[in-house]
Amino acid sequence: MTSATARIVLGVAGGVAAYKAADVLRRLVESGHDVTVVPTESALKFVGAPTWAALSHHPVSSEVWTDAHDVPHVALGRGADLVVVVPATADLLAKAAHGLADDLLTNTLLTARCPVLFAPAMHTEMWEHPATQANVATLRARGVIVLEPAIGRLTGADTGKGRLPDPGEIALLAQTLLAAPDAFPPDLVGRHVLITAGGTREPLDPVRFLGNRSTGLQGYALASVAAARGAQVTLIAANVSLPAPAGTAVIAVETALQMRDAVLATIEAGVDIVVMAAAVADFRPVDAAQYKIKKTGDPSRGPAPIELVTNPDILAELVTLRRSSAQPSAPVIVGFAAETGDADADPLEHGRAKLIRKGCDLLVVNAVGNGKAFGTPDNAAVILSADGPARDVPLGPKTVLAAAVWDEAVRRISVPPRP
Ligand code: CTP
């Protein structure tokens, strides 16, 4: 089955964030999926049935008595390729954990045999309550994917953990489960992972910088998938304008030197896997001018040259640090290399030489240029390893490549999980 023909049940529980489920619905329908919306009675108090029916092009029901001759409570769950619940309230999580079935959505959850994804939203106290945490643990132990809520503004004037994850991220993770149902095993529970994303900017003056085309999509996909697999995630983001993936701690940086400092400080705290997905500038201007650089008066003299100095190689530094540490096999270190072929070698040959030169455990090599990789939702890559065969990941969502990277990295962890 291709993901474009999938049958999805979108469950909507009764929380204010129900209106954001309409955005998730639009994204899934626009991707070509056949989506049936099953709101709870209380969800319909927030967003009415006509909205769901118009956006999904399907009739909408909350209870099992409509069209009873079709036995909808069994048919919907059995026929689904994926069930996504947005928002998953504390009440809905409790019902799902205990197998209650008093409406169409909870019945569907019991009959579904496909992957199930819950995107919770509630107030911080409700999320942190031991009852909710126990229900989430029960569901996760059954193989259900329960995302961590995002941190931010809640319904009242308060701020904290409990916001619905970004609708774009929910839709992306749903699509990932359709393309790769095993993308989120709980194998990063008790692990702290560090990911760098985006591209550094090296200032020339207060308004100009030397930069690159990286958007951070691949690094953010790695973070999103790691969190869904249960990891504690620190995401060091250089100049990325994407919403923070749910369940991750984002440290924003601008330059290579700031990234280096943030990486080294995080490593100090203990990290199991480092993935350096960021495009780090190799050089920076010796001095950033204090004032905006002006055109020179005489055009025949041309612009003043920009003097550059080499930036530290953070990845190579991590490898050196690890070698001299008490635990020379931890953390697992993964590099990324965006390569173009040239007169001397193809992208993969450049990648193999770089893996040896950098001394990391894995190097994810992707061919770039001609619009490939930068800013696109898809990526193709070869994961080269220092100790085994290469793994080819064909063109597909960046989250699916991320899952393959975590598969390979987890297998190389040599220390026990954190308590
Ligand atoms: N990297 C780094 N610090 C740098 C440059 C790169 O940590 N100053 C990391 C990147 O995050 C990536 C890997 O090294 O994981 C490979 O980056 P790349 O730019 O391809 O490597 P370079 O050593 O700069 O090689 P090239 O000469 O091809 O630019």
pLDDT tens digits for range 255-278: 999 999 999 999 999 999 999 999
Q: What is the pLDDT of residue 347?
A: 86
Residues flanking ligand 1, CB < 6 Å: 256, 276, 278, 280, 282, 311, 313-315, 335-337
* C-alpha pair distances (Å), 417 with each of 135, 140, 193, 388, 410: 23, 18, 12, 24, 11
Kindly give the number of the ligand 1 atom that is closest to the alpha carbon of 316: 7
CA of 281 to the centre of ligand 1 (A): 8
Q: What is the pLDDT of residue 353?
A: 94
Which of 12-26, 156-170, 213-227 bottoms out in mean pLDDT, i.e. has the lowest?
A: 156-170
Dist CA 10 CA 95 (whole Å): 17
Q: Whose CA is nearest to atom 17 of ligand 1?
A: 337
Cα 269 from chain centre: 22
Kindly give the number of the ligand 1 atom that is closest to the alpha carbon of 318: 7
CB crowding 144-156: b at 16 or more within 10 Å, else e = bbbbbbbbeebee
Kindly give the number of the ligand 1 atom that is closest to the alpha carbon of 311: 8
Q: pLDDT per residue over 234-259, tens digit each?
A: 999 999 999 999 999 999 999 999 99
The superfamily CATH assigns to domain 192-410 is: CoaB-like (3.40.50.10300)
Kindly give the number of the ligand 1 atom that is closest to the alpha carbon of 314: 7
Q: Whose CA is nearest to atom 18 of ligand 1?
A: 337
Q: What is the pLDDT of residue 4?
A: 59
Number of CB atoms found within 10 A of residue 341's CB: 13
CA angle 400, 213, 332 (to 5 degrees): 45
Kindly give the number of the ligand 1 atom that is closest to the alpha carbon of 338: 20
> What are the residue boundaries of the structural domains of the chain, listed by start?
3-179, 192-410
pTM above threshold 0.75: yes
Q: Do residues 103 and 73 lie in contact, with contact meaning Cβ atoms separated by under 8 Å?
A: no
CA of 358 to the centre of ligand 1 (A): 9
Write the CATH number of the domain with boundaries 3-179: 3.40.50.1950
Q: Can 107 be counted among the known catalytic residues?
A: no
Q: Whose CA is nearest to atom 29 of ligand 1?
A: 282
CA of 273 to the centre of ligand 1 (A): 18
SS3 sequence, 209-245?
EECCCCCCHHHHHHHHHHHHCCCEEEEEEECCCCCCC
Q: What is the pLDDT of residue 89?
A: 98
Q: How confident is the model at residue 2 (pLDDT cuts 50, 70, 90)?
A: very low
Q: Do residues 165 and 117 lie in contact, with contact meaning Cβ atoms separated by under 8 Å?
A: no
SS3 sequence, 327-347?
CCCCCEEEEEEEECCCCCCCH
Mean confidence (pLDDT) of the chain: 93
Q: Is 307 left (phi over 0), alpha (psi -120 to 50) or beta?
A: beta
CA of 180 to the centre of ligand 1 (A): 29
Q: pLDDT per residue over 278-321, tens digit each?
A: 999 999 999 998 998 887 667 777 777 889 999 999 999 999 99
Ligand 1 site-directed mutation target among 273, 282, 348, 383, most atoms within 8 Å of CB: 282
Number of CB atoms found within 10 A of residue 372's CB: 15
Q: What is the pLDDT of residue 3?
A: 47
C-alpha torsion 137→138→142→147, nearest 10? -40
Q: Do domains 3-179 and 192-410 have the same CATH topology?
A: yes
Dist CA 156 CA 126 (whole Å): 14
For residue 237, which amino acid is it?
A: A
Q: Whose CA is nearest to atom 9 of ligand 1?
A: 315
CA of 351 to the centre of ligand 1 (A): 11
Q: Annotated catalytic residue: which of 212, 366, 370, 379?
A: 212
Residue 66 confidence (pLDDT) above 90: no
Q: Whose CA is nearest to atom 4 of ligand 1?
A: 313
* pLDDT > 90 fraction of the chain, expressed in percent and rounded: 81
CA of 44 to the centre of ligand 1 (A): 51
Dist CA 24 CA 44 (whole Å): 17
Q: Whose CA is nearest to atom 25 of ligand 1?
A: 354
Q: What is the pLDDT of residue 317?
A: 97
Dist CA 154 CA 230 (whole Å): 24
Burial class of residue 304, CB neighbours in 10 A (0-12, 13-18, 19+): exposed
Q: What is the pLDDT of residue 242?
A: 97
